[in-house]
Amino acid sequence: MTDSSATSEPDTATIAEPSDRFREKRDRILDAAARIINERGLKALTFVAVADEVGLNTTSVTYYFKRKELLAAAALDRSMDQLAGMLQRAAQEATPRDRVRVLVRLYIEHMANTRLGRERPMTLLSDLRATENVIRGRLMDTFVERISGPTARLFDPGPGPEGPMLNRARAHVLLDTLFWMRAWLPKYSVGDYERIGLRTMDLLTRGFIPEGTPWTASPPPPAPDTAATAEISRETYLRVATRLINDRGYRGASVERIAAELNVSKGSFYHHIDGKDDLVLECFQRSYGRFSQSQRRCIELPGSHLDRLTACMAELLDVQFGKTYPLLRITALQALPTELRLQVLARSDRMAIRFAGIISDGIAEGSIRAVDPLIASQCVTGIINSAYDMRHWADQLPTRQRAIELYAHPLAFGLFTPL
């Protein structure tokens, strides 16, 4: 565990007992920081931006937080406090199903109340990886201790050596399903949130594969990578940048670090790439192009629509569990200017809609269970996007195919269905 004295003390002014006025102003500053991080990413968090949001001067903000890194850490800590509180309430239920049901309900209620201005916003925890090295270590330790660990313990211990591995996959899929809601839930009216919670819980409970149907995904061979052949030098930059952005966030994937990994100069970088925003946008375009190619290939496969859906999932999960060229995490989105961000989100929605079409056709033919296709498609897209974070987990399983089966199991068959 990292020495917290280097990170969390002193994150506020040193006073024995903070007054109500002090706490109220500090909370307003954290609210503003959360909104800025959620809308524009950690790189946009500055004392000037926060001061403008809350109507203070920058000197007043620095009275509460000496450095912006400490402000970011405090905003992320508060979000983990909020989520940990939900997990504690859920853990009091008697069965795994009831625990998950309560967690899903509490999280969606929080999303509704935040949208209505009744609760304080949670900061996107995806920006943990973009914080400073020392602070990041402490925050990641806290996330494991207070969030991912307790989420895995919502489920009963599974039998055999794969039991703990399955529970880690269950926890990841459950948390990612909740976190990914930020990408699509705002498209709905708050009045629809209760129904969305019920339909999401139905999917998490029973999956999208009908009872008695096995997972038989056999991904097709990937198509030749023509972009890599045509522009190998540019493609090399995109590969390295994608991996670094996934690992360290927008801020951590500096031009210097990318150039150092390739053993080239910064000048060589700018010869191939105009700037960092252009790099992130091109990484997204390349990732989404590969994602769409996989979808189109699998749609042409023989068999049922379930066969096509699971084949596409298997192929893309294989990419994410690999070590060379993953898909860019959607968490990099906040780093882009608003206009470019909307373009990327629109393309992401089109890919989810394509999955929704496959699911709808599968429901009509009887190969896929009757689920809400829009919700299910977003959940499938979300767990594929975040699978990169489980690559070390996948390495612990005997084969890549087994890792794919185990990771997909919670959404395909339901969180509570044994292997």
pLDDT at position 4 is 40
pTM of the full predicted structure? 0.89
Look up the domain containing 373 and give its range: 226-413
How far, in Å, CA of 119 to CA of 90, rounded? 19
How far, in Å, CA of 139 to CA of 242, rounded? 23
Instruction: Give the residue from 133, 176, 334 showing the smallest Cα distance to 250.
Output: 334
Indicate whether 302 belongs to any domain: yes
pLDDT at position 39 is 85
Same domain, 264 and 405: yes
- pLDDT at position 97 over 50: yes
pLDDT tens string 14-27: 444 578 889 999 99
Neighbours of 235 (CB within 10 A): 17
Three-state SS at 208 = coil
Q: Which of 154, 174, 201 is the last residue in one of the domains?
A: 154
Same domain, 136 and 55: yes
pLDDT tens string 242-285: 998 888 777 677 778 887 887 777 776 676 677 777 888 889 99
99's tokens: 């625990």
Same domain, 17 and 145: yes
Same domain, 119 and 241: no
Q: Which of 154, 179, 198 is the last residue in one of the domains?
A: 154
- pLDDT at position 158 over 50: yes
Same domain, 150 and 230: no
Q: Which of 111, 127, 154 is the last residue in one of the domains?
A: 154
Give the CATH number for residue 97: 1.10.357.10
